Chains A and B, each alone.
Chain A
């Protein structure tokens, strides 16, 4: 049996070629992703070893679970609080086996490039992120070796890493501009250092200052971390345990090795999400690919009906036939998956080389991890086998009598059964989506996901029925437009509605997801844009370094010419009923005038109380109730005096003065600047920026429409990334169109030969195939757009409480998709049309002799 299957594949490789390419593409996506994340992981692993490997024991604050979600995203490198003091340092120093203990301090600062001109733009902050630490002079602790000049020995001195110094435009002896939370400081560059062995900093700037300078810049007098070196031969684990004995609560000692492993594990958790995200897209691609596989095997089985009938006649059992076809599928799966793995690996190599060229060596050695092999073969084989199953079962039911029949066309079963099943599945899918989106059931994603899946399959089945009258209607139009070529093309689509529908549906899936994302992002853009138009303020103040605008900057802005008032807003973490929540402080008198908040009543009615957001309202808290809120300074019990109605904006809303009682410090996260009536926005903006540039170059000052444009750029970027990831699925779908046509052309060899004999030109044959291809592509795209926009609209509607008020239909994208589909149709037709038009007339019309 295997020999037969193998020979069959070998004998007719062309008809399986595109099927194999489809599988290979999906598999390539899997293997490329896994290879890249593996390389990324190994790259960061070696980074963590460099950071922590030299230190024997690290003493640090025990990381608290990030509570409020307001922290910066880059927790891994962010400066923590300074928990340790000189006494702790001395205590650790005294522990047996410790040869040295060094207090470590990280400074939140940005080294500005030489000649940096602030623009007030949110996106053009000072440059690459800076990691600034105190210099101990101990290489194992500093993780850096002096290359040139000297280490910082006195206040006012700084060293930079060897790559950053020239790229920022500084030489030893130059004055380096450093922006910190409190303003700008000038430090003298006295030397350069190399981080670890190869200075691989993943694009960051590394800087060191003296300990006292670090204390001055941070305004702290302790240490965030203590690095411990042990005596030769000491057991680091034992030393760490001993140190733990003398440490205050909430801190711990851990060996450098263990710390590196801990960080690597944390990163791997994040990378796992990237894997899942990318594999989801690979699965979509393979799902689309499965349509092609089903179609290919169906057509092949039909074309080989006589062959199978003959085999049945000479005594091959139905089961043997079935195994033979499944074996063919296995052969394809193995070959295609192998090619896919290789292509994916090469793609990953290219990608890492590309990234390296632009932003340094982010990746470790790029090797093909075993799980990439496993997943690739597993997914490739599974998809191929499952897809070949139905056609194989069909083949096994072929009767020996079929061998004697004249023509080999798919049996003209009526579509009734298909329609009934398709209708039922479609309905089921719609119900699933409805339940998931609107009834507030638990885990709605499962309902929506399963519903969408059912909808796709249902519509695929129904599409065959739609195609028949559609092609019938199109026949007249196409005949008028393209004469006989158009008529024949329309006939061909109608002839095999199942085949045409499955082919179009493969494209439908990809386009559906595109249209869904486009509808969602378009609506999101509308929401964002309308949010910025609700602002009565002319300017926005934000900080690009820490997220908190320095008070000195606020003072400059408030007193600037043309500024009427600034309404500030602060976001803080608060504890409520044992759970971390967000608390927003507003300047009650001016807030409602500056921005159209979704509150009821106005903030002026706060009256020392608190407004509550939807998630708190959902917990049964009502106006008039008392809530107890804990900040880092004090716990207050406040009366609920109003409501805030947009979800995710904030759980609690209080007056600025209330927040000041609860917190040690209330920083301005966002300032809304309202100008005098006769002031010119551009002038005031330029004027304030000029005043800020000396001391606060990293404060952003932008007009609402500038921010809206920025937000829209981000949204477009997300749309772009997702579209690119769907690219594989779309390419596979287009291959599917080509594949179906290619097999149909083979099937219609004699018909095409006849047309050529009676005088139809090659160009006409070409045009006929192209029209057929375009109709299928555009049909699939239109179906996909209808489903995608529909699902997108349903999704937007379900998110109404998050401020999604309008459903925006991305018309421009829909037009682009349609035009793209037509072009794709032309492209997909190239190979089949080329084959059809150069078909040997004599062979085509040859009868038996």
Chain B
């Protein structure tokens, strides 16, 4: 499917909000490559632009200047309808909360991306994901009948089921207790290691970031540092330097 080792890139990414005096520069010349089969975390203090970076990389929001691509498709020049198709066919999402459509069962939520694109469900793959995430007995339940941890696992399953080029996760464990959070992050890491999935995750929690292969530190809209093979202590130290 892809010819390079990069799942997503951004070159000279700028993002401004507002005009004149109230203008805020959220991204200030971002250059980033997201390698395939890697778990990348984006960290930074509030207002550093980490969510904006995720949104623009994922095609949910548009850059003011610069370009970005997903699976070698430059999305910055595409019309909205095409960007939607890119999201549908190449991207999976896990949000902090409200990940699921309340009126659909867990199973229907998981297969939603395939239903949208009209693709058949790979039964073996589906069963494997369900098995790993331990959702086998929850498939017919509505989201309201699931615990927070189960809801997030359903969201991860949904992100995985279509085997997207890349999954974007925005504070996926932010609303969970520490045990459920650790469980969820563990699953995401397994997805990268065992199935070669690519994941980009925004978090401000050092222990969550420690599950990643690589951490990008963001401050005032710029990438100020990068860390490989992190652990929670190293991350915490680095964050303290940034004034946390």
- Decide if A and B are genuine partners: yes
Q: Which residues of A contact B (CB under 8 A)?
A: 409, 483-484, 487-488, 491-492, 494-495, 750-751, 754-762, 764, 841-842, 845, 847, 849
Residue of B51, B61, B113, B116 near A764 (CB, 8 A) is B116
Residue of A484, A759, A762, A842 near B61 (CB, 8 A) is A842
Residues of B within 8 A of A841 (CB): 60-61
Of the candidates A409, A754, A758, the one having the most CB atoms from chain B within 10 angstroms of its own CB is: A758
Q: Which residues of B contact A (CB under 8 A)?
A: 46, 51, 55, 58, 60-61, 80-81, 84-85, 87-89, 91-93, 95-104, 108, 112-113, 115-118, 158, 170-171, 174
Residues of A within 8 A of B98 (CB): 750-751, 754, 845, 847
Classify the interface of chain A: helix, strand, loop or mixed. helix
CB of B97, distance to nearest CB on chain A (Å): 6
Residues of A within 8 A of B95 (CB): 754, 757, 845, 847
Residues of A within 8 A of B113 (CB): 758-759
Q: Verify B108–A487 contact, CB threshold 8 A.
A: yes
CB of A359, distance to nearest CB on chain B (Å): 56
CB of B9, distance to nearest CB on chain A (Å): 20
- Besides the contacts A754-B99, A847-B98, what 11 more A-B pairs have beta carbons closer than 8 Å? A495-B102, A495-B103, A754-B98, A757-B87, A759-B113, A760-B88, A761-B81, A761-B84, A764-B116, A841-B60, A841-B61
Residue of B55, B80, B91, B92 near A842 (CB, 8 A) is B55
Chain B residue at minimum C-beta to C-beta distance from A493: B103
| 27 pairs, A vs B, C-beta closer than 8 Å | A409-B102, A484-B112, A484-B116, A488-B103, A751-B98, A751-B102, A754-B95, A756-B84, A757-B58, A757-B87, A757-B95, A758-B112, A758-B113, A758-B158, A759-B84, A759-B113, A759-B116, A760-B84, A760-B116, A761-B84, A761-B85, A762-B80, A764-B116, A841-B60, A842-B60, A845-B60, A845-B98
Q: A754–B143 Cα gap in the complex (Å)? A: 14
Chain B residue at minimum C-beta to C-beta distance from A484: B115
Residues of B within 8 A of A849 (CB): 46, 51
Classify the interface of chain B: helix, strand, loop or mixed. mixed
Q: Verify A758–B55 contact, CB threshold 8 A.
A: no
- Given the interface pairs A483-B115, A760-B88, the reply to whether A847 lies near B55 with Cβ below 8 Å is no
6 shortest A-B CB distances, which residue pairs?
Answer: A759-B88, A491-B103, A484-B115, A759-B87, A847-B96, A750-B98
Q: A629–B108 Cα gap in the complex (Å)? A: 84
Chain A residue at minimum C-beta to C-beta distance from B118: A483
CB of B84, distance to nearest CB on chain A (Å): 5
Q: A755–B158 Cα gap in the complex (Å)? A: 12
Chain B residue at minimum C-beta to C-beta distance from A749: B98
Q: A654–B112 Cα gap in the complex (Å)? A: 82
CB of B113, distance to nearest CB on chain A (Å): 6
Q: A394–B87 Cα gap in the complex (Å)? A: 42
Residue of B61, B87, B118 near A758 (CB, 8 A) is B87
Chain B residue at minimum C-beta to C-beta distance from A753: B98
Residues of A within 8 A of B117 (CB): 759
Residues of B within 8 A of A750 (CB): 98
Q: A494–B103 Cα gap in the complex (Å)? A: 9
Q: Verify B88–A758 contact, CB threshold 8 A.
A: yes
Of the candidates B99, B101, B115, B158, the one having the most CB atoms from chain A within 10 angstroms of its own CB is: B101
Chain B residue at minimum C-beta to C-beta distance from A845: B95
Q: A484–B119 Cα gap in the complex (Å)? A: 12
Residues of A within 8 A of B100 (CB): 754
CB of B92, distance to nearest CB on chain A (Å): 8
Chain B residue at minimum C-beta to C-beta distance from A756: B84
Residues of A within 8 A of B88 (CB): 758-761
Residues of B within 8 A of A761 (CB): 81, 84-85, 88
Q: Verify A758–B116 contact, CB threshold 8 A.
A: yes
Q: A842–B95 Cα gap in the complex (Å)? A: 12
Residues of B within 8 A of A764 (CB): 116
Residues of A within 8 A of B115 (CB): 483-484, 487
Residues of B within 8 A of A484 (CB): 112, 115-116
Q: Verify B97–A847 contact, CB threshold 8 A.
A: yes
Q: A494–B102 Cα gap in the complex (Å)? A: 12
Residues of A within 8 A of B118 (CB): 483
Chain A residue at minimum C-beta to C-beta distance from B51: A849
Residues of B within 8 A of A483 (CB): 115, 118
Residue of A494, A754, A759, A847 near B101 (CB, 8 A) is A754
Q: Verify B89–A759 contact, CB threshold 8 A.
A: yes
CB of A529, distance to nearest CB on chain B (Å): 52
Chain B residue at minimum C-beta to C-beta distance from A491: B103
Q: A409–B46 Cα gap in the complex (Å)? A: 31
CB of A431, distance to nearest CB on chain B (Å): 39
Q: A642–B95 Cα gap in the complex (Å)? A: 89
Chain A residue at minimum C-beta to C-beta distance from B100: A754
Q: Verify B112–A762 contact, CB threshold 8 A.
A: no
Q: A760–B113 Cα gap in the complex (Å)? A: 8
Q: A629–B112 Cα gap in the complex (Å)? A: 86
- Given the interface pairs A484-B112, A484-B115, A760-B116, the reply to whether A847 lies near B84 with Cβ below 8 Å is no
Q: A754–B58 Cα gap in the complex (Å)? A: 13
Chain A residue at minimum C-beta to C-beta distance from B101: A751
Residues of A within 8 A of B58 (CB): 757
Q: A750–B102 Cα gap in the complex (Å)? A: 11
Chain B residue at minimum C-beta to C-beta distance from A755: B101
